[in-house]
Amino acid sequence: MKDYEQVQWSEVYSVQYKAIDDQHKELVRMTNELLGACKKGSNKADTFFMKTIQGAVNYAKTHFATEEVYMDKVAYPEYQLHKKEHEGFVEEVLRQLKIFEEGKSEPIEFAGFLKNWLLNHIAVSDKKYAPYLSAIKE
């Protein structure tokens, strides 16, 4: 049984900073779109995957850059470690994309990776810098 369960945004994921929360919500929306396409069958999912993954990767990079600006601005002590997590994610996405293009994986595997990484990253890593954001006025 493959996990097509969509992500439901919850305040549990909130970093209590609107600009970042809005970007996180968009990443959740993109993940849910991919999960939804996977339910519709392989050909539809493959087409959707190839069409949207670059947009999702670009959006993630933009989001990471935004987070890094804020972390730098508040002198977040774990900035370099957090930045390495972002870099590792981009590397893994490129690796997963290559595996998919070689026909060695299915979109649901990538969607599952994206969902799990995103939720874990927001709930654990991003929550660590959340208290520092209160120093910034929106």
What string of DSSP letters covers 88-122?
A: HHHHHHHHHHHHHHTTSS-HHHHHHHHHHHHHHII
Encode burial over 19-56: b for 16+ CB neighbours within 10 A, e otherwise. Answer: ebbebbeebbebbbebbebbeeeeeebbebbeebbeeb
Residue 3 placed within a domain: no
Whether 48 contacts 34, CB under 8 Å: yes
Task: Supply the CATH number for residue 120's domain.
Answer: 1.20.120.50
CA–CA distance from 122 to each of 14, 25, 74, 77, 125 (Å)? Answer: 8, 11, 18, 18, 6
pLDDT, residue 101, reads: 82
What's the confidence (pLDDT) of residue 123?
92
Please state which of the ranges 5-14, 22-31, 39-48, 78-87 shows the lowest mean pLDDT. 39-48
Inside any domain, residue 12 = no
Q: How many domains does the chain have?
A: 1
Distance of alpha carbon 104 from alpha carbon 48, whole angstroms: 17
Specify if 1 maps to a domain.
no
Decide if 6 is inside a domain: no
Residues 24-36 have pLDDT tens digits of: 999 999 888 888 8
Let me know if residue 44 belongs to a domain: yes
38 vs 1 pLDDT, higher one? 38
Task: State mean pLDDT over 1-5.
Answer: 62
What range defines the domain where residue 42 resides?
A: 17-133
pLDDT above 80: residue 91: yes
- Range 96-112 average pLDDT: 83
User: Does 2 fall in a domain?
Assistant: no
Task: Answer whether 115's CB lies under 8 Å from 7's CB.
Answer: yes
Residue 72 in any domain: the answer is yes
Q: Closest by alpha carbon to 66, among 114, 27, 96?
A: 27
104 within some domain: yes
End-to-end Cα, the chain, rounded Å: 44
